[in-house]
Amino acid sequence: MAILGTWRAIGFEPPDPACRSRLDGTASLVTRLLTELQSAIRRHGAAARELLIVVFNLEHGGARVALREQTLAEGYPSLTTVFAEIARACAQDRIGAHQLRCIMFEEDEVRLMLINKSGQPEAYVFPVRPAEVT
């Protein structure tokens, strides 16, 4: 699989350590990060079905986005749908923005890779359900 292009998507301040311990702070930081990322991706004219991977490096100020050479299926869920599911899971499981490592966009799933509270790698898998055509 060839990578069509990459770019630095966003500049993002590392989360304040005081916010990491509060659920509301954690949830709002992840939501803020994903909202900024979605805006940056849209500014580049890309959709979720064109993404290969988003790699987070919050300590150094942002994320990198890689586009795929061949887009995924026409009915692939929107960025809004994908990021809402990820934000919901992060809020529910108290996952902070500083724990995120990457999001991989695959044909049948979206995979969120993170470092859990024990310092171990962990994957959250979100099955892809085609968007409904109206």
Write down the pLDDT at residue 132.
58
Determine if residue 119 is left, alpha or beta; phi over 0 gives left, psi from -120 to 50 gives alpha, anything else beta: left
Kind and range of the H or E run holding 6: strand 3-10
At 115, is the pLDDT very low, low, confident or very high (cuts 50, 70, 90)?
A: very high
| Domain residue extents for the chain | 3-127
- Is residue 120's pLDDT more than 50? yes
Across 10-14, 110-114, 120-124, 125-129, least confident range: 10-14
Amino acid at 36: E
Q: What is the pLDDT of residues 47-89, one digit of tens each?
A: 999 999 999 986 766 788 888 889 999 999 999 999 999 999 9
Q: What is the arithmetic mean of pLDDT over 97-109?
A: 94
Distance CA 25, CA 19 (A): 5
- Is residue 15's pLDDT more than 90? no
Contact between 12 and 61 (Cβ < 8 Å): yes
- Is residue 11's pLDDT more than 50? no
Sheet containing 109-115: which strands, arranged edge to edge? 3-10, 62-68, 51-57, 100-105, 109-115, 121-127
Q: What is the pLDDT of residues 19-31, one digit of tens each?
A: 444 434 556 789 9
Write down the pLDDT at residue 101.
95
Burial classification of residue 134, based on how many CB atoms lie within 10 Å of its CB (0-12 exposed, 13-18 middle, 19 or more buried) = exposed
Write down the pLDDT at residue 27.
60
Residue 89: CB atoms within 10 Å: 14
